[in-house]
C-alpha cells in the first residue's frame, strides 16, 4: 500500500548499530528526455526541469507527501539565484515540504556522486530513503557581467557621496559592458574539453572509424531500447518530447564519415573528432530513488540493484601528465581491487561517452601493458572488456549529456538492466559505471542486481 | 464547467431573453458535493394499489433509516426533493394508473435538481403477458416523464430481477445513486438489479475506502476525472496511459496520490503488467476501469486499415486481452469489479464512426458475456456509455455542430467528465454488486438512439 506520509518528528524505521552497514538499493529512476540545447527546453530553467523529473519519479513510485530522508542534486551551469536549487525543486514538487535537500557539484560526475553520497548515508543508517539527481541547461545558462563592471558596481554600492560615485563610474570602459558567458574551457589551460580530448585521442592513436563506430552503436542501441519499451518506466515526457532529441536512429557509418572534424584541427590529418562522435550541449534532468531494503519493502517498491561501492580519482592534466578526461582510468583499478573483482566479473560496462575518443582512450589505457605496469602499478594491462557488454542501451553520444544529469541517467538504466538480468553464473549481475569530469576528475561505481540476503 | 450559454440563460437578463424567445433553458445541474444533503427536500414514496405495498413500506423505512425526510403522501405546496414510485407489485397495465396518477400532481412541486425514481420488476422475468405488459409499460412511462421534467430534475428507473427486492443492497445502492447529485447527467435510464449481491458502504462519502483501482487512459479528460472521483471516494489508484502521455499522467498520479504506470495497453503483456504493478505496489486489485480509447473518424467509404485496426485494437481488443489475464491471474485474492467505457455511438451509431462504434458495440457485447464469468467469482462487470461530454476532444468539434450536439438531450447541455466518472465510481462500488452486465448511459437522455 502507498505509505502514509511521515510526520516531521517520526524517527527512522530502522536504526543501524554504530559501526555496521546495511545495503542501499536503487528502487528506480526517472528522467525527462534530454533535449539539444536551444530546442524543446530552451525556455526551461534548471529548477523547472529538476522539478519535472522529481514529479515524474514521485508519480511512478507514489511518493506524494512522503518525507524522503534527503534529496541531493546539482547543476554544473548554475545561476547564482539557484543557490538552493534542489531544495527549491523539492518545495515545488509533490514531496513533503519537510524533505531536506542539498546541492552538490562535481562537474559531470555530479549525478553519480549524489548517488554514492546518499547511498553511503543509507548504508550507515543515517537516512532510510533518498533521491539523487542532477540537471543542466546549456540553453538557460547564466550570463554574468564582466569582472570590470562587477567591481565598479560593487564599489558604487559602497560609495557614500555623489562625486565619489561619479569617479567610480568614470572607471567603466566599453569592454566592461560585454557579458561573460560560461564555457566548457578549463580555467588552467584555456583549452576546451574537446581540444583536451583531441590531444588524448591522438596520443592513444584512436582511429576516426573506431570513434564513429562507438557513436553508431550508441544511437542504434538507444533507439532499440526505446523501441522495445525499455525506457517506459525510466523516462517521463516533458514539453512535447518523449524521446531524447539528439537520438538519430537512422544514422549510419557512412553518414558519420562525412562529418568534418571540429576538435583538434591543429593536429591536421590526425584530427578525428567530429560533431557525430562528440556529445552536443544538452538540456535535461534525471533522478534516482534510493532506499534501504526495509524502506522499499514497507512500500512494496522494487529493489532493482545494490549500490556496491564507488571511487573518485583525479589526474594532473595541467602539466600534461595525463589527459583531462582520463581520471576513471585510475579510479577503476582501485575500485576493482578493493572489491576483489576483475573485468571478468562485470556484466555491463557503462562508460560515459563524453566523446567517443574518451571511451576508446580509456579502454586503450586499460589494455596497455606498459601503462598498466608503470602507471597503474599492476603486473600488466588491467584488461580488455567485451565490447558486447559496453553501453548496451546507448549512452551520451545518442542521449545527449546535460552534465549533472548524466549520472542519474546511467544509474537508473543500469539498475534496471541488472534487475532484468538477475543472477548470472550463480551470482548477481554486476555493472561498472565510469564518468569523467572537468578538472581532470572522474567518479566510478559498481552496482549489483539485487538479490535477497541469505535467510530471507 | 457548465457551458457559457447555460450560464447566460440561468439568471438575470439572459434568463428573461431566453424565455421570451423560446430558446432552450438548460439548468445548472445539481452535482454531488461532500457534505450536502442527498436530495434537496423531502422524499415522497408512493406504492402501487392503495399507495402502500410491502415493497414500498420496506423501501420507505430504509430511506428513513438514512435520515431522509420521507413522506408517504404529498402535502399541498410542499417542495419535494424526490418522488420514488414503487411499482414492484404491478401485474397488469391497469395497475399503473393508481400510483402514477397519485404521483402526477406532485411533479409540479419537485425542487430544482429533484429526482423521480421508479422501482419496478423486469418484464423479461414475467411469463404472463399482462404482467409483462404492466412491467414494460413502466419503461415507456419513465422515459417520457424524463423528457417532461425541467430545472435539472431527472427521472430514472430501477428494474428488479427475480433475485432482487426493493431493499436489496444494490436496489438501495442504485436508488442512492439516482437520488444523489452523482447521477446529475443520467436521465431516462434504467439499471437492472439482478441479485441480492452487494453491500452498502458504511461511509456514504468514502464508498471505495480501502479499494485499489486501476484506470486506463487516465492522463486526461474522462480518464483523469475517473481517477479524481475514485480518489475522492477513497480508492487507492494506479493510473495508466501510453508513455507519450506520461507527463500528464504524472500530474494526475500526483494529484490523486496514486502511482503512474506508463504502458501501451495494446501490448501482449499489458494485463499482467497491470496486475503485477497493482499487487506489488498496492497489495491487490479491486477495481479495473477500461477507459482508454481513441477515435480515428472517417466515412466507411474512405476508411483505411490503419484507422480501423488501431481503434479496434485499443478500444476493445486490449480490454478482452486484459480481462483474460485478470481471469487467469493467480496472484489476485479476489476478482476485481470491472467497468468499461462504451459510448452512445456504439448504441445509436454515429456518422463517420463505423470503426469507433464497432469497437464500442464490442465493449457492450463483451460486458454482457463476461458478466456470468465474473458472477461465478462474486464480481461484476458493467459499462457506461457517455453521450456528449465536454472534453478537449469535443471542444474540437466545429462550433455549430457542437452546439447542436450538446443541446440534443433532455437536459439541453453537455455532460462533464466528472458525470461519467460518478456513474463509473458507483458501478465499481460494492453497493452495485447486484448489478452486472448492464450498460448505463450518461447522456442526459440523448434524443438520438434513446
Cβ neighbours of residue B382 closer than 8 Å, sequence gap 6 or more: B338, B339, B340, B367, B371, B427, B432, B435, B436, B437, B438, B439, B440
Please list every residue in chain A whose beta carbon sits closer than 8 Å to the beta carbon of residue B283: 1, 300
Which grid cell sits at B293? 480509447
Nearest CA in chain A to B283: A1
Q: What percent of chain A has pLDDT over 90?
A: 77
What is the pLDDT at residue A18? Answer: 62
Interchain proximity B257–A2, CB inside 8 Å: yes
Q: What percent of chain B has pLDDT over 70?
A: 97
Q: Which residues pair with B83 in a beta bridge?
A: B44, B116
Work out the angle between the directed axes of helices B354-375 and B305-312 (0-180°, nearest 10): 20
Homologous superfamily of domain range A193-228+308-449: Thiolase/Chalcone synthase (3.40.47.10)
* Burial class of A85 by CB neighbour count within 10 A (0 to 12, 13 to 18, 19+): buried
What is the pLDDT at residue B16? Answer: 75
Which grid cell sits at B114? 429533484
Interchain proximity B253–A59, CB inside 8 Å: yes
Q: By mean pLDDT, which of A134-143, A243-252, B421-430 is the weakest?
A: A134-143
Nearest CA in chain B to A4: B257
A297 touches chain B (CB under 8 A): no
Structural domain boundaries in chain A: 193-228+308-449
| Pick among A59, A285, A416 to test the B interface (most B CBs inside 10 A) | A59
Give the model confidence (pLDDT) of A237-255 as tens digits. 999 999 999 999 999 999 9
Give the model confidence (pLDDT) of B377-402 as tens digits. 999 999 999 999 998 878 888 888 88
Question: What is the value of ipTM here, to two decimals?
Answer: 0.87
CA distance B52 to chain A (A): 49
Please list every residue in chain A whose beta carbon sits closer than 8 Å to the beta carbon of residue B253: 58-60, 62, 64
CA nearest to A32, candidates A133, A101, A116, A115: A133
Of B236, B251, B262, the CB nearest to A1: B236
Gyration radius (Cα) of chain B, Å = 22
CA nearest to A311, candidates A291, A337, A290: A337
Of A1, A59, A237, the CB nearest to B254: A59
CA A333 to each of CA A311, A312, A443, A444: distance values in angstroms, whole numbers, following the listed order: 10, 11, 12, 10
Homologous superfamily of domain range B38-193: NAD(P)-binding Rossmann-like Domain (3.40.50.720)
CA distance A369 to chain B (A): 47
Nearest CA in chain A to B263: A232
Interchain proximity B250–A236, CB inside 8 Å: yes
CA A21 to each of CA A120, A315, A446, A449, B122: distance values in angstroms, whole numbers, following the listed order: 9, 31, 17, 18, 69
Q: What percent of chain B has pLDDT over 90?
A: 75
Collapsed DSSP state (helix, strand, coil) of residue B207: coil
pLDDT averaged over every residue in chain B: 92
A66 touches chain B (CB under 8 A): no
- As a whole number of angstroms, the longest Cα–Cα distance in chain B is 65
CA nearest to A305, candidates A182, A142, A419: A419
Confidence tier at A141 by pLDDT (50, 70, 90): confident
The residues of A annotated with a catalytic role in the active site are: 108, 401, 436
Burial profile A219-230: b = 16 or more Cβ within 10 angstroms, e = fewer: bbbbbebbeeeb
What is the pLDDT at residue A2? Answer: 44
Interchain proximity A229–B243, CB inside 8 Å: yes
pLDDT surpassing 90 at residue B84 = yes
Interchain proximity A236–B281, CB inside 8 Å: no
CB pairs under 8 A between A and B: 77
Q: Are A330 and A374 spatial neighbours (Cβ–Cβ below 8 Å)?
A: no
Provide residues of B within 8 Å CB-CB of chain A.
236, 243-247, 249-251, 253-254, 257-264, 267, 280-283
Please list every residue in chain A whose beta carbon sits closer than 8 Å to the beta carbon of residue B219: none
Give the model confidence (pLDDT) of A194-241 as tens digits. 899 999 999 999 999 999 999 999 999 999 999 999 999 999 999 999
Which grid cell sits at A191? 583549452
Please give the average per-residue pLDDT across B315-341, as a whole number: 92
Interchain proximity B258–A237, CB inside 8 Å: no
Cell numbers 476478482 label which residue? B335
Of B243, B253, B257, the CB nearest to A232: B243
Confidence tier at B351 by pLDDT (50, 70, 90): confident
Please give the average per-residue pLDDT across B333-360, as a whole number: 91
Which grid cell sits at B171? 436496489
| Distance separating alpha carbons of residues A301 and A293, to the nearest angstrom | 9
Of B260, B267, B282, the CB nearest to A2: B282
Burial profile B380-406: b = 16 or more Cβ within 10 angstroms, e = fewer: bbbbbbbbbbbbeeeeeeeeeebeebb
CA distance A374 to chain B (A): 51
Report phi then psi at A428, rounded to 5.
Answer: -65, 145
CA B199 to each of CA A332, B196, B429: distance values in angstroms, whole numbers, following the listed order: 63, 9, 9
Candidate ranges A149-153, A175-179, A392-396; pick with highest mean pLDDT: A392-396
Interchain proximity A56–B246, CB inside 8 Å: yes
pLDDT averaged over every residue in chain A: 92
pLDDT surpassing 50 at residue A1 = no
Q: Could you tell me where in chain B the CATH 3.40.50.720 domains are found? A: 38-193, 212-442
CATH of region B212-442: 3.40.50.720
CA distance A390 to chain B (A): 27
Collapsed DSSP state (helix, strand, coil) of residue A291: strand
| Distance separating alpha carbons of residues A346 and A330, to the nearest angstrom | 17
**Cα dihedral B3→B9→B10→B16 (10° resolution):** 180
Confidence tier at A353 by pLDDT (50, 70, 90): very high
Please give the average per-residue pLDDT across A144-166, as a whole number: 84
| Distance separating alpha carbons of residues B271 and B323, to the nearest angstrom | 7
Interchain proximity B245–A237, CB inside 8 Å: yes
Q: Are B174 and B438 spatial neighbours (Cβ–Cβ below 8 Å)?
A: no
Give the model confidence (pLDDT) of B135-146 as tens digits. 999 999 999 999
| Pick among A49, A62, A241 to test the B interface (most B CBs inside 10 A) | A62
Q: Are B6 and B28 spatial neighbours (Cβ–Cβ below 8 Å)?
A: yes
Which grid cell sits at A276? 557525430
Amino acid at each position: 500500500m502507498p505509505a502514509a506520509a511521515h510526520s516531521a518528528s517520526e524517527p527512522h524505521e530502522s536504526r543501524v548499530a554504530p559501526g555496521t552497514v546495511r545495503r542501499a538499493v536503487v528502487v528506480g529512476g526517472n528522467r525527462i528526455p534530454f533535449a539539444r540545447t536551444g530546442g524543446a527546453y530552451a525556455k526551461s530553467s534548471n529548477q523547472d526541469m529538476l522539478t519535472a523529473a522529481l514529479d515524474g519519479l514521485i508519480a511512478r513510485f507514489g511518493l506524494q507527501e512522503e518525507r524522503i530522508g534527503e534529496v541531493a542534486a546539482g547543476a554544473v551551469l548554475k545561476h547564482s539565484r539557484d543557490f538552493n536549487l534542489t531544495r527549491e525543486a523539492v518545495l515545488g514538487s509533490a514531496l513533503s515540504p519537510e524533505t531536506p535537500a542539498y546541492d552538490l557539484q562535481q562537474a559531470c560526475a555530479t549525478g553519480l556522486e549524489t548517488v554514492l553520497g546518499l547511498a553511503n548515508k543509507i548504508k550507515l543508517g543515517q537516512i532510510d530513503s533518498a533521491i539523487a539527481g542532477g540537471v543542466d541547461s546549456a540553453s538557460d545558462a547564466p550570463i554574468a557581467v564582466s569582472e570590470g563592471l562587477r567591481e565598479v558596481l560593487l564599489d558604487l554600492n559602497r560609495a557614500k557621496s555623489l562625486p565619489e560615485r561619479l569617479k567610480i563610474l568614470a572607471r567603466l570602459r566599453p569592454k566592461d559592458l560585454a557579458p561573460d558567458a560560461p564555457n566548457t574551457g578549463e580555467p588552467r589551460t584555456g583549452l576546451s574539453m574537446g581540444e583536451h580530448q583531441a590531444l588524448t585521442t591522438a596520443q592513444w592513436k584512436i582511429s576516426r572509424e573506431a570513434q564513429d563506430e562507438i557513436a553508431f552503436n550508441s544511437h542504434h542501441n538507444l533507439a532499440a531500447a526505446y523501441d522495445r519499451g525499455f525506457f517506459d518506466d525510466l523516462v517521463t515526457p516533458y514539453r512535447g518530447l518523449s524521446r531524447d532529441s539528439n537520438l538519430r536512429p537512422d544514422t549510419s557509418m557512412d553518414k558519420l564519415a562525412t562529418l568534418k572534424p571540429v576538435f583538434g584541427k591543429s593536429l591536421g590529418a590526425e584530427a578525428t573528432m567530429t560533431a557525430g562522435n562528440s556529445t552536443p550541449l544538452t538540456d535535461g534532468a534525471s533522478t534516482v530513488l534510493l532506499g534501504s531494503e526495509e524502506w522499499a519493502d514497507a512500500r512494496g517498491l522494487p529493489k532493482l540493484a545494490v549500490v556496491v561501492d564507488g571511487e573518485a580519482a583525479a589526474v594532473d592534466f595541467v602539466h600534461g601528465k595525463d589527459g583531462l578526461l582520463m581520471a576513471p582510468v585510475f579510479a577503476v583499478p582501485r575500485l576493482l581491487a578493493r572489491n576483489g573483482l576483475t573485468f571478468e566479473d562485470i556484466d555491463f560496462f557503462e562508460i560515459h561517452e563524453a566523446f567517443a575518443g574518451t571511451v576508446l582512450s580509456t579502454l586503450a589505457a586499460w589494455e596497455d601493458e606498459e601503462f598498466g605496469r608503470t602507471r597503474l602499478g599492476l603486473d600488466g594491462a588491467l584488461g580488455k572488456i567485451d565490447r558486447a557488454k559496453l553501453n548496451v542501451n546507448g549512452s551520451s553520444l545518442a542521449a545527449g549529456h546535460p552534465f549533472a544529469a548524466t549520472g542519474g541517467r546511467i544509474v537508473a538504466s543500469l539498475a534496471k538492466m541488472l534487475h532484468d538480468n538477475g543472477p548470472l553464473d550463480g551470482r548477481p549481475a554486476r555493472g561498472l559505471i565510469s564518468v569523467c569530469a572537468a578538472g581532470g576528475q572522474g567518479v566510478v561505481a559498481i552496482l549489483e542486481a539485487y538479490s535477497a540476503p541469505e535467510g530471507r | 464547467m457548465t457551458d457559457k450559454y447555460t450560464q447566460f440563460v440561468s439568471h438575470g437578463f439572459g434568463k428573461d431573453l431566453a424565455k421570451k424567445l423560446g430558446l432552450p433553458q438548460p439548468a445548472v445541474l445539481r452535482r454531488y458535493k461532500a457534505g450536502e444533503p442527498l436530495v434537496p427536500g423531502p422524499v415522497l414514496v408512493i406504492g402501487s394499489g392503495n399507495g402502500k405495498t410491502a415493497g414500498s413500506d420496506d423501501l420507505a423505512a430504509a430511506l428513513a433509516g438514512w435520515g431522509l425526510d420521507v413522506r408517504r403522501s404529498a402535502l399541498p405546496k410542499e417542495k419535494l426533493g424526490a418522488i420514488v414510485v414503487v411499482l414492484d407489485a404491478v401485474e397488469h397495465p391497469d395497475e399503473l394508473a393508481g400510483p402514477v396518477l397519485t404521483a402526477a400532481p406532485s411533479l409540479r412541486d419537485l425542487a430544482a435538481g429533484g429526482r423521480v425514481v421508479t422501482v419496478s420488476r423486469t418484464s423479461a422475468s414475467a411469463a404472463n403477458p399482462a404482467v409483462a405488459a404492466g412491467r414494460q409499460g413502466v419503461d415507456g412511462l419513465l422515459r417520457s416523464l424524463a423528457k417532461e421534467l425541467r430545472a435539472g430534475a431527472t427521472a430514472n428507473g430501477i428494474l428488479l430481477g427475480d433475485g432482487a427486492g426493493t431493499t436489496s443492497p444494490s436496489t438501495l445502492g442504485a436508488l442512492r445513486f439516482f437520488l444523489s447529485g452523482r447521477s446529475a447527467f443520467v436521465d431516462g435510464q434504467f439499471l437492472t438489479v439482478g441479485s441480492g449481491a452487494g453491500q452498502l458502504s458504511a461511509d456514504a462519502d468514502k464508498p471505495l475506502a480501502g479499494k485499489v483501482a486501476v484506470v486506463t487512459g487516465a492522463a486526461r479528460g474522462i480518464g483523469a476525472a475517473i481517477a479524481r472521483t475514485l480518489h475522492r471516494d477513497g480508492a487507492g489508484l494506479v493510473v495508466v496511459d501510453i508513455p507519450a502521455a506520461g507527463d500528464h499522467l504524472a500530474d494526475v498520479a500526483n494529484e490523486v496520490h496514486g502511482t503512474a504506470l506508463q504502458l501501451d495497453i495494446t501490448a501482449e503483456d499489458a494485463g499482467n503488467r497491470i496486475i503485477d504493478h497493482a499487487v506489488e505496489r498496492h497489495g491487490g486489485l479491486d477495481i479495473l476501469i477500461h477507459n482508454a480509447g481513441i477515435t480515428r473518424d472517417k466515412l466507411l467509404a474512405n476508411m483505411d486499415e490503419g484507422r480501423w485496426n488501431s481503434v479496434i485494437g485499443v478500444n476493445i481488443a486490449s480490454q478482452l486481452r486484459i480481462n483474460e489475464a485478470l481471469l487467469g491471474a493467480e496472484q489476485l485474492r479476489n476478482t476485481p469489479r470491472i467497468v468499461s467505457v462504451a459510448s452512445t455511438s456504439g448504441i445509436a451509431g454515429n456518422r463517420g464512426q463505423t470503426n469507433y462504434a464497432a469497437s464500442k458495440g464490442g465493449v457492450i457485447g463483451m460486458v454482457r458475456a463476461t458478466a456470468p464469468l465474473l458472477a461465478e467469482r462474486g464480481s461484476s462487470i458493467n459499462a457506461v456509455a457517455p453521450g456528449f461530454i465536454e472534453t478537449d476532444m469535443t471542444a474540437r468539434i466545429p462550433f455549430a455542430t457542437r452546439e447542436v450536439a450538446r443541446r440534443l438531450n433532455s437536459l439541453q447541455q453537455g455532460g462533464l467528465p466528472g458525470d461519467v466518472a460518478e456513474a463509473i465510481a458507483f458501478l465499481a462500488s460494492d453497493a452495485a454488486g447486484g448489478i452486472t452486465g448492464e450498460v448505463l448511459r450518461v447522456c442526459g437522455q440523448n434524443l438520438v438512439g434513446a
